[in-house]
Amino acid sequence: MKTKEKILRPSSLTSSPSIVRDIQAALDATANERGVFGTRFQYHDEAGSTNDLAMRAAERGEPEGTVIVAGAQTAGRGRLGRTWFSPAGAGLYVSTIIRHVTLAPWITLAGGVAVAEGIRAATALPVEIKWPNDVVTVGSAGFRARRKLAGILAEAVSDGQQVQHVVLGYGINLLPAAFPPELTDRATSIESELGRTVDAGLVLAQTLVALNRALTEIEAGGPAALLVRWLALAPSARGARIEWDGPGGVTLTGVTAGLAPDGALLARTATGIDRILSGEIRWV
Amino acid sequence: MDFSDIERILDLVRQHDLAEFELEKEGLKLRVRKAGALPAFTASPLHTMPVVVPTAPSAATPAPPPMASAAPLSADEAEESVELAVVKSPIVGTFYRSPEPGAAAFVEVGQRVKKDQVLCIIEAMKLMNEITSEYEGELVSAYVENGKPVQYGERLFAIRTV
């Protein structure tokens, strides 16, 4: 497997591929808004999985905010071993290290907000969040017609006492080639939605700006502001018919009824209000 | 209190790996302290009944010879004692014993585990939390079924550390 690694320093790039130049320029332009995110940055033309690289970097002691980006992933992953299709040049594959472990319960919601706000800021494409953090298109044809633009995989390592560190990974489909053709009715890309090219560096930089903003807000004032932002981006969190897998593999159905203070999705069922803390929801 | 009571106390002290145990009852004061960096034992002037909980021999502070009547155990016998470490859930979430559906479990009962080895994943809010072992030893129990919800502090595994 070829893995060319470039460790970038501010304004150090003169003869790199255009994607790397775009990223560097966008990171330089947002240096005051990203906090620690992206101050240490690696670009790989190809990697197995950026989350695996970031996890190893975290174990080596690399600091919070270290960002690893790949032009392609040969073993991109989603939840529970699912593959995240990651061909060269079609998507943005990003992982970052978070060491403020008290933020761990909020990182997946913050990640969804960061990617959604980052895409909006960089491209003006309106996007929404599906609980807890899939980023999907906006439309008038009902939630089932929403197509996925970006996915997030957050992974943590804990001993029996507490979380040691968290890696937040996200994949954003930039071009239609970023997803397999058989997923056309469920997946899309930023460029196919907009009908024009986008600056991948700008998308990366704006997601890091939004991530820094979300995490800084939680540290300063608790999760209330994050929950407000998240709800504003997730109209399907209220009044949408869903099904999900309950304990023991039973399929449950209900209607979404907002977020609990801990970020669990609430759903009204025939017997009351259920809390959904894990797994995925499906539109029905 | 007779010697069988003291034997029971010694068993409990060993079982729970206590560094020190003190009991005062009916004019008797019993104090048990593990042989180690501190003095091996002390006792009240009256009714002195020193006992020793054997541990692995320490070169720095040799354990005093146990009294014949006070449940003497050799260091070898002490090393055979079973120590179980219980791994508990640090978060609320859904418990997974394997990295993906259909894959082999991270670790099976009866297998050896090393420190920092991944034992399971607990998912909460789509944060996949790998729980690593703080202990080295043999996995002797897995308390939770794959895919079941777990609460904070719930027992997940027992590891025989000795």
pLDDT at residue B62 greater than cutoff 50:
no
- Of the candidates A217, A267, A221, the one whose C-alpha atom is nearest the C-alpha of residue A244 is A267
Q: Mutating which of B97, B113, B126 best tests the A interface, going by the most A Cβ atoms within 10 A?
A: B126
Q: Is the distance from CB of A200 to CB of A92 less than 8 angstroms?
A: yes
Average the pLDDT over B51-77 and give the result.
43
CB pairs under 8 A between A and B: 92
| pLDDT tens digits, B129-158 | 999 999 999 999 999 999 899 999 999 999
Q: How many CB atoms within 10 Å of residue A156?
A: 27
CB B62 within 8 Å of CB B100: no
Domain boundaries for CATH 3.30.930.10 within chain A: 6-233
**What percent of chain A stands above pLDDT 70?**
94
d(CA A218, CA B47): 61
| Interface membership of B91 toward A (CB under 8 Å) | yes
Q: Do A156 and B129 touch (CB under 8 A)?
A: yes
Q: Per-residue pLDDT for B3 more than 90? A: no
Mean predicted lDDT score pLDDT of chain A: 90
Residue A86's alpha-carbon distances to A47, A72, A89, A91, B152, in angstroms, are: 10, 5, 9, 7, 36
Cβ-based contacts of A251 with chain B (< 8 Å): none
The residues, any chain, with a CB within 8 Å of residue A3's CB and separated by 6 or more, are A44, A45, A46, A47
Residues 6+ away with beta carbon under 8 Å from B36: B19, B55, B58, B61
Phi first, then psi: give them for residue B42, nearest 5 degrees: -135, 160
Q: Do A79 and B91 touch (CB under 8 A)?
A: no
- Token pair belonging to A160: 């029996």
Segment A179-221, tens digit of pLDDT: 888 888 889 999 999 999 999 999 999 999 999 999 999 999 9
Please state, in angstroms and rounded to a whole number, the distance separating the CA atoms of residues A154 and B127. Answer: 5
Stretch(es) of chain A classified as CATH 2.30.30.100? 237-283
Query: Residue A80: its pLDDT value, please?
Result: 79
pLDDT value of position A238? 96
CB contact under 8 A, A249 and B147: yes
Q: Taking CB atoms and an 8 Å limit, are B148 and A248 in contact across chains?
A: yes
Fold (CATH) for A6-233: BirA Bifunctional Protein; domain 2 (3.30.930)
- Cα–Cα distances (Å) from B139 to A41, B107, B144, in that order, read 40, 8, 13
pTM of the model: 0.78
pLDDT band at B20 (very low <50, low <70, confident <90, very high): low
- List phi, psi (to 5°) of B83: -120, 125
B106: Cα within 13 Å, side-chain hemisphere: 23
pLDDT at B52 > cutoff 80: no
Listed residue (A39, A88, A34) closest to A62, CA to CA? A39
Residues of chain B neighbouring A154 (CB-CB closer than 8 A): 126-128
Could you give the CA distance from residue A245 to residue A250 in angstroms, rounded to a whole number?
6
Contact at CB, A108 and B127, closer than 8 angstroms: yes
Q: Give all domains of chain B, ordered by start, each with its CATH number.
A: 3-52 (no CATH), 80-161 (2.40.50.100)
Angle formed at CA B53 by CA B48 and CA B58, multiple of 5 degrees: 115
CATH topology of domain A237-283: SH3 type barrels. (2.30.30)
Nearest residue of chain B to residue A247 (CA atoms): B148
Note the pLDDT tens digit of each residue in B111-130: 999 999 999 999 988 899 99
